[in-house]
């Protein structure tokens, strides 16, 4: 947990951009039966994918120096943005997000990459801050089962779970193999988070049907529109900011 990394002034442009994009996501959910699309649900939880591809402020934010520094220490000498999404947990329909690993949703190799969970509002136990189970990342990708309507789940509870509340502008940093969840939002306000994930250069997503005998298709994570490099040969790439 890294507290007070970004000031209100530094967060303002990306919050404004993501609020606008999330509003469009929320409107899209209204067009679906029961306001649901997959595990997203109007009034409960929304997922706004790839803000870096849709807004310059989000792209600049993903290139802040703190992320390159974290990649240097925790990923390796060469790293790129793998995935980014905003997750807004609404107060109208409180529900938890199930215990899962990020690599349980889309399997990639190398299996271990880096998740930076940035709090755009204060994240507390009451509004659905992250909770993690330390140590289990050493076991690799665990078996997941799909639970309607929550999503992919490893287990329902764990005695070693630790809450990770973090103030606005802080970051919860963990491995893609760390089992984690966010609890229900029991407050009257929206809990907002921006999640940026970084993987080594050369990482590949394995795309396919796990119930099929056909081998998965390997897709190189190198789409420059949204998977740009942040670190090459241990040095931040051109354009990565000098500030936090």
Contact by Cβ (8 Å): 79, 229? yes
152: DSSP letter: E
* 8 Å CB contact between 176 and 101: yes
Of 16-20, 81-85, 104-108, 195-199, least confident by mean pLDDT is: 104-108
Q: When comparing pLDDT for 69 and 44, which is higher?
A: 69
Residues linked to residue 36 through DSSP beta bridges, in sequence order: 41
What is the mean pLDDT of the segment spanning 177-195?
95
Superfamily of domain 8-223: q2cbj1_9rhob like domain (2.60.120.620)
| pLDDT number for residue 161 | 95
* Statement: residue 96 has pLDDT above 80: no
Given CA atoms 129, 38, 143, 141 in this order, what sign does their dihedral have?
Answer: negative
At 216, list the tokens.
């998965």
The region of weakest confidence among 99-103, 164-168, 205-209, 211-215 is 211-215
- pLDDT tens string 209-244: 767 788 889 999 999 999 999 999 999 997 777 666
Instruction: Kindly report, residue by residue over 36-49, the tens digit of the pLDDT.
Output: 787 888 888 999 99
Overall average pLDDT of the 116-123 stretch: 98
Task: Give pLDDT, residue 243.
Answer: 65
Which of 24-28, 48-52, 103-107, 232-236 shows the lowest mean pLDDT across its residues? 103-107
Q: Is the pLDDT of residue 105 over 70?
A: yes
Q: Which of 221, 188, 228 is nearest to 206 (CA)?
A: 221
Angle CA(30)–CA(32)–CA(36) in degrees, nearest 5? 85
User: Of 100-104, 152-156, 173-177, which has the strongest mean pLDDT?
Assistant: 173-177
pLDDT at 115 over 90: yes
Read off the pTM: 0.93
Residue 154 reports pLDDT greater than 70: yes
Distance of CA 195 to the CA centre of its chain: 3
pLDDT at residue 116 in the model: 98
- Mean local confidence (pLDDT), 61-72: 96
């Amino acid at each position: 947990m890294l507290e007070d990394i970004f000031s209100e002034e530094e967060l303002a442009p990306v919050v404004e951009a993501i609020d606008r994009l999330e509003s469009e996501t929320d409107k899209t959910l209204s067009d679906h039966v029961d306001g649901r699309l997959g595990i997203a649900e109007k009034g409960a939880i929304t997922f706004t994918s790839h803000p870096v591809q849709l807004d310059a402020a989000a792209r600049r934010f993903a290139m802040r120096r703190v992320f390159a520094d974290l990649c240097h220490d925790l990923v390796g000498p060469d790293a790129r943005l793998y995935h980014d999404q905003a997750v807004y947990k609404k107060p109208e329909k409180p529900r938890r997000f199930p215990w899962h690993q990020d690599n349980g949703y889309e399997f990639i190799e190398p299996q271990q990459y880096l998740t930076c969970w940035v709090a755009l509002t204060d994240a507390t136990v009451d509004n659905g801050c992250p909770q993690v189970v330390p140590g289990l990342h050493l076991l690799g990708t665990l078996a997941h089962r799909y639970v309607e309507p929550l999503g992919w789940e490893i287990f329902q509870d764990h005695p070693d779970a630790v809450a990770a509340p973090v103030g606005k502008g802080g970051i919860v940093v963990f491995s893609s193999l760390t089992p984690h969840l966010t609890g229900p939002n029991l407050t009257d306000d929206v809990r907002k988070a921006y999640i940026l994930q970084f993987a080594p250069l050369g990482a590949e997503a394995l795309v396919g049907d796990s119930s099929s005998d056909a081998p998965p298709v390997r897709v190189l994570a190198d789409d420059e529109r949204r998977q740009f490099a942040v670190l090459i040969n241990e040095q931040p790439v051109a354009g990565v900011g000098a500030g936090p």
